[in-house]
Chain A
Amino acid sequence: MTTIVHKSEVDLLIRTFRMMSRMNRARPEMRSSETLYYQMLAEYYSRIRNAREEGKLLAAHTVFFPTEMLYAMDIVPMHTEMTTWLTALFLREQAELLAKGAELGLAPEICSPHRGVAGIFGLNTIPHPDVILWSNLICDNTAKSGELMMELSRSPGFFLDNPFQNSPGEMRYLVDELKDMVHFLEEKSGKKMDWDKLAEMVVRDKQEIELYREISELRKAVPSPMSISGYLELLSADYMFPGQPEAIQYLTQLRDELKMMVKQGKGAVSSERFRLMTLFVPPMHLMSSLGRIFEEHGAVSVTEPLFTCWSEGELDPSRPLESVAMKSFLIPERRSMYGPLSEQALQDIIDSAQQYKIDGAIYWAFLGCRHTCATVKVIKEVLSEIDVPMLTIDCDIVDPTVNSEEEIRDKLTQFTEMLEEDR
């Protein structure tokens, strides 16, 4: 197995992000949070690129992984799904990644980000990870992807078994799993866990969750201040820099901007006519087109209950490990995608539909995400009980051949016409 580090893709990503950040800075109409966002991305991939030279362990990990643990051990995290999305989004290399995934024998029913993950490993276009970390949060795909990544990279790995429900025993189990992971990483990196540092990160985690909640609150304003194209950015902060100063800085900036807009009565779109709820995630490659399409229709996404609404619960910095475990039960996605479909989760969706005064909802039915799609009908039914229509769009979040900008525009036209007629 070759250990040559192919830097080209990562270099290309870093260069792209730096360029985006500079371009944004040069344009006064752009929000500074967006500049920060690209700086954040550039910083993230610079660390990945430099990990080896700086003698740091590089750890590839699946989505919703408690990366605070890695940061506290001075280990460089590399989010595999996020890296696939970004490579797809900014370097337009989806086709190669997916083709490589297929060549490795992965069936088309395996979700495209995970076929892409196998692709980035198979093509060896990312720096070689020293360890592979994965967990069953959030689906069978994440649970199964680790062994293949280990096989492809010939790197050792650790599987974090994240229990299904939130009972005291399961919480203890997760805490013990995290301890095992610390032992594993200490052995591989030769560095000790810095518990004080982890405690600091939990303090910032609390701040971060609070910022997410404030941002959600601000979006209740009429007109609502955040554009759909900022959705992925919003998620990225916690995906890449959980409990890190970068995330706090970005989220604070974003909150302040939104606060200002609300104060000035400014909305994300020039004339707000339809307040929409977004369920799941739109195709990544259409994010910027969506901004345009929403503007054309006077539509604004005001809430994403499956992705941006954190569960109730407080973290305790005096118990950092327990807090990291606890956080994995608070993340919004767990409720919708991983945990049991409770009547409470459905009630939460009804409540937010009312609190955010939504006119309609769009469910992005990503065909690779089986357990989420299983909730399409249930959610449609509970929304229809409060007279909120829901549009379902079959999509793929990575593969650009599935949805086109035209198709999405047509569907939004139909949907908004329908909402209009209802008035």
Chain B
Amino acid sequence: MKTLGIDIGSLNIKAVVLGDDGILGTTIVPPGDEIEAGAHKAIEAALVEAGLSHNSLPVAATGTGAKFIPFIPQQKAITTCLARGIHYLFPSARMVIDMGAESTTVLKVNERGRIADWVNHDKCASGTGLFLQQMAKLMGITLEEMSSLSLQAHARADITNTCAVFAESEVISHVHRDPPTPKEDIVAGIYASIVSRTISLCKRVGITKDVAVTGGVALNDGLVNIMEQELGFKVLKPKSPQMVAALGAAIIAKETAEKGPK
């Protein structure tokens, strides 16, 4: 059976086509002005990649924007989908750290790929994808440059403030210091402060191994590297960490289809 999962995020729409032997196609498109149109575009592209011509696959949607695409009636919470997606990729994962554009969510997953608990930071911008973008802009580099720079750091600049607004002013003062703090150390400092806050969130539900990272922010190798140092062990990282929720949605579409109409 082939199914389709779609994750409508605030920065990107992700779609996954899932077959019996694995993932057949994936796409990421920006949502554009019209979420519904964007969703159609993403689905079509994923189908093309999977070598399918028309869309009659069972489908499920997730993500903050899912409620704006009523043409997909089956909708599931992002946490449920992340749990399913990660279980498919890494059955040993018991905890997922999902670092997305607007919030960070930590969830616990049981041995059946069911979510057992979760906690998120949504009242705080620091540590999110948007925050990282802002920091990169402030330092005049790209997100990719940021990631590779951090791997060359000799030290971590002190970024102690927990509030995004103040963290920004700390970064500015590092940039303008005489002599300026080396860029790589500033980046390492920013990553370290994000990691520390994220681990604090993990501790609220209790850290359980194996730990997997997902979401767009997990694409930063430098950040994941620091996270592993701070946790004291390796984390599981999917090849496409931002696709996991869409994958989970495709799995749920499959489960529902297999159960048959109620």
Contact of B114 among A377, A394, A421 (CB under 8 A): A421
Inter-chain contact count A-B, CB under 8 Å?
Answer: 39
B150 CB within 8 Å of chain A: no
A418 CB within 8 Å of chain B: yes
Interface stretch among B45-53, B88-96, B117-125, B166-174? B117-125
A5 to B123, CA, bound (A): 40
Within 8 A of A (CB), among B61-120: 64, 76-80, 114-119
B137 CB within 8 Å of chain A: no
Number of interface residues of B (CB under 8 A): 16
Contact of A410 among B77, B117, B205 (CB under 8 A): B77
B204 CB within 8 Å of chain A: yes
Q: Are the CB atoms of B76 and A417 closer together than 8 Å?
A: yes
Within 8 A of B (CB), among A366-423: 376-377, 380, 384, 389, 392, 394, 402, 407, 410, 413-414, 417-418, 421-422
Beyond A414-B80, A418-B79, is A402–B116 a contact (Cβ under 8 Å)?
Answer: no
Q: Which residues of B contact A407 (CB under 8 A)?
A: 122
Q: Are the CB atoms of A402 and B123 closer together than 8 Å?
A: yes
Q: Are the CB atoms of A413 and B77 closer together than 8 Å?
A: yes
Q: Which residues of B contact A402 (CB under 8 A)?
A: 123
Beyond A413-B77, A414-B77, is A421–B115 a contact (Cβ under 8 Å)?
Answer: yes
Beyond A394-B123, A402-B123, A407-B122, is A414–B114 a contact (Cβ under 8 Å)?
Answer: no
Q: Are the CB atoms of B80 and A377 closer together than 8 Å?
A: no
Q: Which residues of A contact B76 (CB under 8 A)?
A: 417
A413 nearest in chain B by CB position: B77
Q: Are the CB atoms of A417 and B77 closer together than 8 Å?
A: yes
Q: Which residues of B contact A384 (CB under 8 A)?
A: 117
Q: Which residues of B contact A421 (CB under 8 A)?
A: 80, 114-115
Q: Mark B189-225, 1 if CB is under 8 A from A, else 0.
A: 0000000000000001100000000000000000000
Within 8 A of A (CB), among B107-159: 114-119, 122-123
**CB of A405, distance to nearest CB on chain B (Å):** 13
A380 to B205, CA, bound (A): 9
**CB of A300, distance to nearest CB on chain B (Å):** 20
Q: Are the CB atoms of B78 and A414 closer together than 8 Å?
A: yes
B204 nearest in chain A by CB position: A377
A419 nearest in chain B by CB position: B115
Q: Which residues of B contact A389 (CB under 8 A)?
A: 116-117
**CB of B9, distance to nearest CB on chain A (Å):** 14
A410 to B80, CA, bound (A): 12
A410 to B119, CA, bound (A): 13
A127 to B216, CA, bound (A): 55
Q: Are the CB atoms of A414 and B79 closer together than 8 Å?
A: yes
A255 to B45, CA, bound (A): 60
Q: Which residues of B contact A418 (CB under 8 A)?
A: 77, 79-80, 114-118
**CB of B63, distance to nearest CB on chain A (Å):** 11
A376 to B114, CA, bound (A): 24
B113 nearest in chain A by CB position: A421
B112 nearest in chain A by CB position: A421
**CB of B110, distance to nearest CB on chain A (Å):** 9
**CB of B120, distance to nearest CB on chain A (Å):** 9
A414 to B117, CA, bound (A): 10
Q: Are the CB atoms of A414 and B204 closer together than 8 Å?
A: no
**CB of A43, distance to nearest CB on chain B (Å):** 38
Q: Are the CB atoms of A422 and B118 closer together than 8 Å?
A: no
Q: Which residues of A contact B117 (CB under 8 A)?
A: 384, 389, 418
B119 nearest in chain A by CB position: A392
Contact of A422 among B114, B123, B204, B205 (CB under 8 A): B114
A380 to B78, CA, bound (A): 22
A170 to B108, CA, bound (A): 45
**CB of A196, distance to nearest CB on chain B (Å):** 52
Q: Which residues of A contact B78 (CB under 8 A)?
A: 414
A396 nearest in chain B by CB position: B123
**CB of A225, distance to nearest CB on chain B (Å):** 29
Interface centre among B76, B77, B78, B122 (most CB of A within 10 A): B77
**CB of B256, distance to nearest CB on chain A (Å):** 13
**CB of A385, distance to nearest CB on chain B (Å):** 12
**CB of B199, distance to nearest CB on chain A (Å):** 15
Q: Identify the 6 closest CB pairs spanning chains A and B, nearest first.
A: A414-B77, A421-B114, A417-B80, A417-B77, A418-B115, A414-B79
Known: A392-B119, A394-B123, A421-B80. 20 other contacts (CB 8 A): A376-B204, A377-B204, A384-B117, A389-B116, A392-B204, A394-B122, A410-B77, A414-B77, A414-B78, A417-B76, A417-B77, A417-B79, A417-B80, A417-B115, A418-B77, A418-B79, A418-B80, A418-B117, A418-B118, A421-B114
Chain B interface residues (CB < 8 Å from chain A): 64, 76-80, 114-119, 122-123, 204-205
- Return 22 A-B CB contacts under 8 Å, by A number: A384-B117, A389-B117, A392-B119, A392-B204, A394-B122, A394-B123, A410-B64, A410-B77, A414-B77, A414-B78, A414-B79, A414-B80, A414-B118, A417-B76, A417-B77, A417-B79, A417-B80, A418-B79, A418-B80, A418-B114, A418-B116, A421-B80
